[in-house]
Amino acid sequence: MIARTVRSEWVKLRSLRSTWYTLACLFGTGVGITSLATGQVAGQYGDLSEAERLAWDPTARGLIVYIVAQLVFGVLGTLVVTSEFATGLVQSSLAVTPHRTRLLAAKVVVAAVVAVVAGQVLMFVSFLVGQALIAGQGVPSARLGDPGVLSAVMGGGLYLAAIALLAIGLGTLMRATAGALTTLVGIVFLVPGMAGLFPAWFQGLLDFWPSQGGAAIFATVPDPAHPHPWLNLGGMCLGIAAVLVAAFVVFERRDV
């Protein structure tokens, strides 16, 4: 039964023009930002001190596209649920699949698969384009076989997929695209930007926060502030799982 619901949700997602526009924007913007971030690094690298050159991380530079990409994934995840609330189609979906948990689970599965595939492809493309541009300027670049590189690239894809799932949770809780995206922007940009203003007890949470500790997965040079990037990413995913659980509970109990 769940397989049929998943198949139905996939048909709905792929039939939305906004889905393809969002993915096209994702890859077009991704390649553009990667080119901008890595196209002029020769002068920057030449000005670095010896200690700064030892900390040079071409992998992180090539994957910097995640800063914007996480918003695009947020749009994709939000639209999976809020598009139906906006059009009233959710009533038809519930008439066909009255089991609300199954319906939302199918949406999560479809969005997760699309986000994982798109995220991994974006990370590999950005890495390869970025390293080609860096190497072409005579600056030390990275290869997939170098220590920690493949882990950073694949971890980056998982990070973006997790952001898409966070957006699904927020979209389900708020039932509005604008509200969900505004909240997501606050989570990934506003909170990390104001980190120094929060009390000491909150600082520990930032080790697992999107765009903060969770984003340590993109680096290959050890960061003393986040020495265990997979632990940081895992903590972020647990927090997102909690948001999804809340979304399931609310969707099950609230009138549509």
Q: What pLDDT, in 10s, does the model give residues 189-215?
A: 999 888 778 787 788 888 999 999 999
* Closest residue by Cα to residue 166 from 64, 237, 99, 104: 237
Going by C-beta distance under 8 Å and a sequence separation of 6 or more, which residues neighbour residue 73? 26, 115, 118, 119, 160, 161, 163, 164, 167
Query: Per-residue pLDDT tens for 83-123?
Result: 888 888 888 888 888 889 999 999 999 999 999 999 999 99
Count up the domains in the chain and report the number. 1
Q: How far is CA 166 from CA 25, 48, 80, 120, 238, in A?
A: 20, 38, 12, 18, 11
3-state helix, strand, coil in the chain (%, to 5): 80, 0, 20
Going by C-beta distance under 8 Å and a sequence separation of 6 or more, which residues neighbour residue 106? 2, 5, 6, 8, 9, 97
Query: Per-residue pLDDT tens for 34-72?
Result: 999 898 887 888 888 888 888 899 999 999 999 999 999
Q: What is the CA radius of gyration of the chain?
A: 20
Determine the Cα–Cα distance for residues 91 and 110; give it in Å rounded to an integer.
19
Instruction: Name the residue with tokens 């397989």.
Output: 3
Query: Per-residue pLDDT tens for 126-164?
Result: 999 999 999 999 999 999 999 999 999 999 999 999 999
Task: Give the range of the structural domain holding residue 27, as residue numbers without chain letter.
Answer: 2-253
pLDDT of residue 256: 61
Q: Is the pLDDT of residue 33 over 80?
A: yes
Q: What is the pTM of this model?
A: 0.93
